[in-house]
Amino acid sequence: MEKVLVTGGAGFIGQNIVRRLLEDGKEVTIIDNLSTGKKEVIDSFTAAAKGTKFYQENTETLPVEKYSDPDIDTIFHFGSPCSVQQFRKDPSKPMNETISGFMKVMELARSTGSTVIFPSSGSIYGNKKELQSEADEPETVNLHGIGEVTVETLAKYYRKYMESSAWA
Ligand SMILES: NC(=O)c1ccc[n+]([C@@H]2O[C@H](COP(=O)([O-])OP(=O)(O)OC[C@H]3O[C@@H](n4cnc5c(N)ncnc54)[C@H](O)[C@@H]3O)[C@@H](O)[C@H]2O)c1
């Protein structure tokens, strides 16, 4: 059975992905710090599908070795703060979670050889009215967007150098 790890599996996007993965017969491990996610959502998954595991953990301080199972094929990463208000109120905390959390996930992917799937955000393009594409330059107007642009830059770096001797 294919093993999949989902961060933020108690949240809005994550729970819909977990539901679909379970319907597809995957073995799912969920990591979530329950900062905005609901434990009842997790309980419904663990009750519905034996083998579903849940760990209350912050991605920023994820102990990579603990979750480093070589059978994990894919990591879906949604366990990240996304409230613009939170970034306004106390910028360094959500920014650290966004960037360090992503790097922990990438380190886990490096150690397990798994693929990472994560959402970016429309906020990287600011308040532009026209339809944007990946070819357009980011022009963010808030700290959440800066966090997402940084994560995209890190993702490109990992994709390019992950398996290369130029890793530095
Ligand atoms: N909802 C949207 O329309 C949308 C659009 C574009 C991008 N995104 C991105 O998708 C991701 C998830 O969004 P969402 O709408 O599902 O948010 P959400 O707040 O509903 O879910 C996030 C989940 O992750 C958990 N979480 C937050 N920080 C964590 C951390 N440091 N460690 C572990 N768990 C953590 C929360 O408890 C929650 O269960 C965010 O990164 C967001 O920026 C969302």
Q: Is the CB of 32 under 6 A from ligand 1?
A: yes
In a domain, 128, yes or no: yes
Mutate to test the pocket of ligand 1, among 7, 13, 43 (most ligand atoms within 8 A of CB): 13
In a domain, 167, yes or no: no
Q: Is the CB of 34 under 6 A from ligand 1?
A: yes
In a domain, 139, yes or no: yes
Q: Is the CB of 15 under 6 A from ligand 1?
A: no
Q: Is the CB of 147 under 6 A from ligand 1?
A: no
In a domain, 138, yes or no: yes
Range of the domain at 138: 3-161
98 alpha carbon to ligand 1 midpoint, in Å? 10
Residue-wise pLDDT tens for the chain (168 aa)?
Answer: 799 999 999 999 999 999 999 999 999 999 999 999 999 999 999 999 999 999 999 999 999 999 999 999 999 999 999 988 999 999 999 999 999 999 999 999 999 999 999 998 888 998 888 888 888 888 888 999 999 999 999 999 998 887 666 665
Domain count, the chain: 1
In a domain, 46, yes or no: yes
With CA atoms as reference, report the closest residue to 45 among 66, 69, 62, 21: 21
From the number of C-beta atoms within 10 Å of its C-beta (0-12, 13-18, 19+), residue 14 rates as buried
Q: Is the pTM of this model over 0.85?
A: yes
In a domain, 166, yes or no: no
Contacts (Cβ under 8 Å, ≥6 apart) of 123 = 84, 140, 141, 142, 144, 145, 148
In a domain, 168, yes or no: no
- Report the CATH number that the domain containing residue 77 is assigned in CATH: 3.40.50.720
In a domain, 156, yes or no: yes
120 alpha carbon to ligand 1 midpoint, in Å? 11
Q: Is the CB of 97 under 6 A from ligand 1?
A: yes
